[in-house]
Structure 1
Amino acid sequence: MPGTHHIDHEFTQYLYETLPVTYPVLTDIASLVETLRTAQQGVERTLNARNSRTPNP
């Protein structure tokens, strides 16, 4: 059975040739990771602020 890698590669080039990135899925994943990290940091800051204001028993 012949491989389809060459056809897949050409199709991928056709789909993404006008985009400024080589691997758009990886770019989207990296962007999502950064968004999640920023959100996590915000949650951690809020929780830390709340904990520092709460007196310990």
Structure 2
Amino acid sequence: MLILDSYSSHINLNFLFTCKTVLNIALVFPPPYTTHILQPLNLTAFSPIKTCY
């Protein structure tokens, strides 16, 4: 799973096709202006990964 924002350069048909069919990567595009809702992910999910890395 790859979480991307909805920035226009991230929405490229070739990239989307390659991720979906060739690499079998699920792409997630959260709605715009939802970072205040998704912010807890930085503390609960990403912080331990970042610390280990």
In the superposition, the TM-score normalised over structure 1's length comes to 0.23
Relative to its length, the structure with more helix (as a share) is 1
Name whichever structure is richer in strand by fraction. Answer: 2
Higher relative contact order (CA 8 A, sep 6+): 2
Q: With the length of structure 2 as denominator, give the TM-score of the two structures.
A: 0.24
